[in-house]
């Protein structure tokens, strides 16, 4: 099964305690697509400016990603800058230059409209809604959002959430959206809004999934080498949805495996800057880290 992702393609300037990159390829849709491409065919809907060159597109094309839904318009591609504190869980946005993203109105090519899996990356909920109006009865819709939309477009977000199967957000966003500090309460409150499942990303602490069958927690992988957590959340979502789309197994066990697959890809993402950690992975590397996750969390009966 294939996935369509709608979201940002960007040039990111990122400063972390381990170094910096300037105008490196990034964007939520880019991270998602590269991660998901290890498991299933992926199509991207996004907008870029005339500074998005063949070398940038090649990052997606070499992963077999369908880029025909990336619209090119005159002007500069979206740019974002962020700086992380020592613990990498906190970051401040240095700048957001919307550029061609300001007037982005996603249009799905006709051949994308019956894609069974849809990922709505972090964009305005009204635009996420417009994507849902263009797809034909998708099998599974997942969505990401951020505090900016929770604070500024809550009604539109709630309307969109009614049509979403899985919400994938971080702990602070879950608290803000629900008004509950406790994450169990937060997930319960969010599920009332529509999504049958809520996956809460917790940075270095991993992810906790409140699924319709029960709760599943996966730790963050204990990494010695850290570089840049940018895009780890989108990478997690890509690995998770990609795996789910490749198996079509939506059972509790299928969802648990997909959550670990997402965590595996996210762990590679933070080891390097930009997309470097998730390009060119071998299937044996992915399988080996999956096994390490298994070993990390296995224990015997009491
Ligand atoms: P994450 O670390 O998961 O929050 O994702 C970071 C990625 O999201 C970066 O590559 C940015 O280019 C992109 N990004 C940052 N701000 C926005 C925004 N307001 N809208 C869409 N994408 C954004």
CATH number for the domain running over 3-297: 3.40.1190.20
Ligand 1 pocket test: which of 6, 7, 8 has the largest number of ligand atoms within 8 Å of its C-beta? 8
Percent of the chain with pLDDT over 90: 98
For ligand 1, atom 4, name the residue with the nearest CA: 231
For ligand 1, atom 16, name the residue with the nearest CA: 80
- What are the boundaries of each domain within the chain? 3-297
Distance CA(277)–CA(254), nearest Å, equals 25
- Output the CA 301–ligand 1 centroid distance in Å: 42
pLDDT tier for residue 133 given thresholds of 50, 70 and 90: very high
Distance CA(166)–CA(109), nearest Å, equals 24
How do the residues of the chain divide into helix, strand and coil, expressed in percent and rounded to 5?
40, 25, 35
pLDDT tops 90 at residue 87: no
Instruction: Specify whether the CB–CB gap between 242 and 35 falls below 8 A.
Output: yes
Residues 6+ apart with CB under 8 A from 252: 211, 213, 214, 216
Report the pLDDT value the prediction gives residue 90, as an integer from 0 to 100. 87
Report the pLDDT value the prediction gives residue 89, as an integer from 0 to 100. 83
- Output the CA 213–ligand 1 centroid distance in Å: 31
| pLDDT 10s digits, 159-187 | 999 999 999 999 999 999 999 999 999 99
| pLDDT 10s digits, 61-85 | 999 999 999 999 999 999 999 999 9
Report the pLDDT value the prediction gives residue 103, as an integer from 0 to 100. 95
Largest CA distance in the chain: 64
Report the pLDDT value the prediction gives residue 206, as an integer from 0 to 100. 96
Ligand 1 neighbours, Cβ below 6 Å, are 8, 10, 12, 26-28, 80, 96, 122-123, 230-234
- Output the CA 27–ligand 1 centroid distance in Å: 5
| pLDDT 10s digits, 236-275 | 999 999 999 999 999 999 999 999 999 999 999 999 999 9
Q: Which two tokens stand for residue 192?
A: 């009332």
Q: What are phi and psi of 20, to 5 degrees?
A: -150, 155
Order of strands across the sheet that contains 117-120? 66-72, 42-48, 3-6, 117-120, 140-143, 166-170, 197-201, 207-211, 214-218
Report the pLDDT value the prediction gives residue 264, as an integer from 0 to 100. 98
| pLDDT 10s digits, 26-41 | 999 999 999 999 999 9
Length of the chain: 302
What is the residue-averaged pLDDT of the chain?
Answer: 97
Greater model confidence, 78 or 212: 78
Distance CA(225)–CA(11), nearest Å, equals 24
């Amino acid at each position: 099964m294939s996935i369509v992702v709608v979201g940002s393609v960007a040039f990111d300037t990122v400063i972390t305690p381990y170094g910096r990159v300037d105008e490196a390829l990034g964007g939520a849709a880019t991270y998602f697509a590269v991660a998901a491409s290890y498991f299933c065919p992926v199509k991207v809907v996004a907008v870029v400016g005339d500074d998005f060159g063949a070398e940038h597109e090649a990052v997606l094309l070499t992963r077999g990603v369908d880029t025909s839904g990336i619209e090119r318009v005159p002007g500069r591609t979206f740019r974002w800058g962020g700086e992380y504190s020592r613990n990498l869980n906190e970051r401040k946005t240095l700048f957001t230059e919307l550029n061609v993203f300001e007037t982005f109105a996603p249009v799905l090519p006709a051949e994308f409209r019956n894609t069974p899996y849809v990922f709505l990356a972090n964009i305005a909920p009204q635009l996420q809604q417009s994507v849902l109006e263009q797809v034909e009865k998708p099998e599974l819709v997942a969505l990401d959002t951020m505090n900016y939309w929770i604070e500024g477009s809550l009604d539109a977000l709630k309307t969109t959430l009614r049509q979403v199967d899985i919400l994938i957000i971080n702990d602070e966003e879950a608290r803000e959206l629900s008004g509950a500090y406790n994450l169990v309460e937060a997930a319960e409150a969010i599920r009332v809004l529509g999504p049958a499942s809520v996956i809460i990303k917790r940075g270095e602490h991993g992810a906790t999934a409140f699924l319709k069958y029960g709760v599943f927690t996966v730790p963050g992988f204990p990494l010695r080498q850290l570089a840049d957590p940018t895009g780890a959340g989108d990478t997690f979502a890509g690995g998770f949805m990609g795996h789910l789309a490749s198996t079509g197994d939506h059972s509790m066990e299928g969802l648990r495996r997909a959550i670990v697959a997402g965590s595996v890809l996210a762990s590679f993402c933070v080891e390097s800057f930009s997309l470097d950690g998730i390009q060119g992975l071998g299937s044996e590397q992915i399988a080996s880290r999956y096994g390490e996750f298994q070993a990390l969390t296995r224990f015997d009966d009491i």
